[in-house]
Chain A
């Protein structure tokens, strides 16, 4: 395998912008790399903040493990805050591990990499390119910027300064730059700063590539990200709120940044040999369509809302496949993949996996428990530098300008407190992303209940420089805004399906957010839906859709239609969602599931596949594909799809496991079961007796009981005139929609579950469902009598509702792999008892006491014939 690896980071690069440029021949270097190698999406993580993400790239670990939790950090002496440094990183980066293993690395511009670590090789840290924008002020290269320090002499002149930018650099990006009123519009200043910084990074990187030996080289550019934050609002198509003159001036800026990035790539690739494996990747994408935000919400790091879920990944090299698309990569997979390229073991404590799919010849990866515990020299700092030299006004200012951080509070103790809260909040979001809700909630609740100082008049005077206060802060407001914490708690409650708690948080948010600036309609709809108020939920979403249609609102509407089994409506809604956003995996998966229910299996398979192309680690998409293939009769591939779904799920995918068993049985027997029942006993099966109320379910329960099957009942409902032999009910069944954990007790027993509640059965167990059918008119008549109503009047609405419920059972049993079902007619139970008992006994797969079962029949109780 190749032992030379070049990793190039393009912050925020997005295929949506790149593909059209490649088609026009305007990114030739990247195009050649793609043709030579593999390409695909790179999945980002939450929160999508670059220093956290690039540290995950370098370590293969999520931020809770690597320790970089934001853009800024509190200084070790607790006396101030500063842009995040390498001191926040607690896990070893690739270059530390390579150092230990005797390899040489060059690292240029990585975020964060200051102070430069003393590795075998060179580090030009992310402080190198940060210079003072005022030509009259000196910008010395401070200690720790470059390792080894002697390299400083060689490359000190490779920093470009913003004031060196000329029209020759500007005009290709902004042809009408001369029309800019520079008194009012700071666009050119931003441009000059971004260009100068990235040119410095590039110049340092080409120098060390040419002049210094290396096995691993990592270069990080923020050109595209910073251009997008500054100029994406002007990118075509023109948004209504953007003034025409500004659109004309800046409309080509973002695209030009991509082209300049490609020009730099061209040069970088000239400096490597055929033996080098190259990876070009981004940490997230950037919204370039209708989701662009013109008015940023006022909370820290809000600009990251424009970061899209998918970045880019391209790799080419001696053992890399050619011109193939790869799927499902995540940022945490990069470090394990590079370790594997060097033939080094991957830490079991790394969250990522090596991307073996990219290789022509796959060598099995090797593993060690952890690189963190190993003793020895890893080229790390021996002790934390506590000097104040690390605070960096220019860098802080840039983060403020980009909107990633607020202008630090005038009072340093307030700034420290706010930073500490931000870092904890970010960590809570990391836990939430990893579905570790307990840890996330503990942090968020801590942040909510902490006591915060309030703003005093003098604090606000210091801040405002005679300008209106942009944050709308008033005297007496706490210095920390706790609304974002409530928003995250609301999201977690919804994920945990704790709808009462979610409602509390929603109300809390509405009380606190007086101006009602936060969009809460999704949460409101989800809560309503969770509480069974389907029509109200639909109304909330329809209002939102009519107000401002977008992909997510259509998707949520589609989900409701799916739940109410209005599949045609659901299909239309998912298609609308895809019209807005075609590369959203969950939209394709939901449409696939919808098409399955409509019987359009081929299209369902198509959409499930598209979904998998977008996100490989999407168990539900693999499961849906399995369902579609099974319906199409392709059992071999269906099994593969179910296998993948079962393997991918962090928790056990019960449906996939049951589906695999079913397919395996079908492959052996080569037959379909007309009534979806294999007449064999299944270990720990649960026998469910179901039907509409008054369809003979109590009779069947009694028969099973007498036949020798233990019944799960609490005897709470006593026999009465309507059911003189008992109801055989179990109270927890009534609240199965909230808690179905009691099903464990029902294994090898029978339990009565009325038809509308069947859908809440857990896919964890195997069910033998005996569904009692009875003439609907008879059922309703019997029910009317039971509740003392006129039996001669047949309520039409009730009749229709019951018909709908029976149809829902059909759909449910078709989609649930753990369910086998037989239908018994009440009249047959009474009149053809022997045959029915034989069928039941054979269905359950046990020898039942037929005579005892038959003795349960009392035809005198058949009283509501029609």
Chain B
């Protein structure tokens, strides 16, 4: 397996990921994910568990669908 990099020297850290990604919430509601998810995803989404993983995959699927059209 070879991991391909599209971007070089991107320098951002986990804390930014948290800010960009998921805000802590007491609820289980997916409406908390009211920020823009990109096809690349984020650590915050993975750390959010099942909901984060599924929401990211939806965006990714849409992105690559559009990409191929």
Contact = CB atoms under 8 A, between A and B. Distances in A.
Contacts of B13: 172, 175
B12 interface: yes
A292 to B, nearest CB: 24
Interface in B12-63: 12-18, 22, 24-26, 28, 38, 40-44, 46-54, 57
A157 interface: yes
Contact of A189 (B1, B12, B25, B53): B1
Nearest to B3: A188
A205 B49 contact: yes
Q: Is the interface of B mostly helix, strand, loop or mixed?
A: loop
Contacts of B67: none
A704 interface: no
A177 to B, nearest CB: 7
Contact of A263 (B2, B40, B47): B47
B15 A158 contact: no
A475 interface: no
A256 B1 contact: no
Contact of A270 (B15, B18, B25, B42): B25
B7 interface: yes
A172 B47 CA distance: 13
Of listed B3, B22, B25, B38, residue having the most chain A CB within 10 A: B3
B43 A169 contact: yes
Given A26-B15, A169-B41, A171-B12, A267 B1 contact: no
Given A189-B1, A202-B47, A175 B15 contact: no
A204 B43 contact: no
A189 B3 contact: yes
B11 interface: yes
A167 B6 contact: yes
Contact of B10 (A162, A171, A204, A264): A171
A169 B56 CA distance: 12
Contact of B18 (A165, A263, A271): A263
B39 to A, nearest CB: 8
A165 B53 contact: no
Contacts of B1: 133-135, 162-163, 189, 192
Contact of B14 (A135, A199, A260): A260
A155 B3 CA distance: 26
Contacts of A171: 10-12
Contacts of B3: 165, 170, 177, 182, 188-189, 192
A165 B60 CA distance: 12
A473 interface: no
Contacts of A256: 14
B9 interface: yes
Contacts of B26: 270
Contact of A271 (B6, B11, B28, B41): B28
A157 B38 CA distance: 19
Given A133-B1, A189-B3, A267-B22, A160 B46 contact: yes
A780 to B, nearest CB: 76
Nearest to B16: A172
Contacts of A160: 46, 53
Given A133-B1, A158-B53, A206-B50, A172 B12 contact: yes
Q: Is the interface of A mostly helix, strand, loop or mixed?
A: helix
Interface string A198-225: 0100111111001000000000000000
A168 interface: yes
Contacts of A192: 1, 3
Contacts of A172: 12-14, 16-17, 43
Contacts of A266: 24, 47
B64 interface: no
Nearest to B11: A175
A389 interface: no
A259 interface: yes
Contacts of B51: 206
Interface string A797-829: 000000000000000000000000000000000
A203 B48 CA distance: 8
Contacts of A368: none
Contacts of B40: 166-168
Contacts of A202: 46-47, 49
Interface in A516-566: none
A178 interface: yes
Contacts of A268: 49
Interface residues of A, number: 45
A202 B51 CA distance: 11
Given A203-B53, A207-B49, A263 B44 contact: yes
Contacts of B5: 167, 177-178
B7 A203 contact: no
A178 B9 contact: yes
B8 interface: yes
Contact of B24 (A26, A170, A206, A270): A270
B22 to A, nearest CB: 7
A267 B49 contact: yes
Nearest to A268: B49
A318 to B, nearest CB: 18
Given A160-B46, A172-B17, A178 B53 contact: no
Interface string A306-325: 00000000000000000000
Interface string A591-635: 000000000000000000000000000000000000000000000
A175 B54 CA distance: 26
Contacts of B11: 171, 175
Contacts of B49: 202-203, 205-207, 264, 267-268
Nearest to A195: B46
A395 to B, nearest CB: 17
A837 to B, nearest CB: 83
A199 B53 contact: yes
Interface in A462-495: none
B24 to A, nearest CB: 6
A171 to B, nearest CB: 5
Contacts of A267: 22, 47-49
Contacts of B18: 263
Of listed B5, B6, B11, B57, residue having the most chain A CB within 10 A: B5
Nearest to B17: A172
Contacts of B14: 26, 172, 256, 259-260, 263
B9 to A, nearest CB: 7
Contacts of A167: 5-7, 10, 40
Contacts of A134: 1
B50 A168 contact: no
A210 B25 CA distance: 14
B25 A199 contact: no
A207 B50 contact: yes
Nearest to B38: A168
B41 to A, nearest CB: 5
A162 B8 CA distance: 20
A165 B38 CA distance: 13
Given A158-B53, A189-B3, A260 B25 contact: no
Contacts of B24: 266, 270
Contacts of B9: 175-176, 178
The 7 A-B residue pairs with the shortest CB-CB distance, nearest first, are: A206-B49, A263-B47, A207-B50, A168-B40, A203-B50, A166-B40, A172-B14
Given A189-B3, A263-B43, 20 more contacts: A157-B57, A160-B53, A162-B1, A167-B6, A167-B7, A168-B41, A171-B10, A171-B11, A171-B12, A172-B16, A172-B17, A175-B13, A202-B49, A203-B50, A206-B49, A260-B47, A263-B14, A267-B49, A270-B28, A271-B28
Interface of A: 26, 133-135, 155, 157-158, 160, 162-163, 165-172, 175-178, 182, 188-189, 192, 195, 199, 202-207, 210, 256, 259-260, 263-264, 266-268, 270-271
Interface of B: 1-3, 5-18, 22, 24-26, 28, 38, 40-44, 46-54, 57
6 contacts: A157-B54, A189-B3, A192-B3, A260-B43, A263-B18, A263-B43
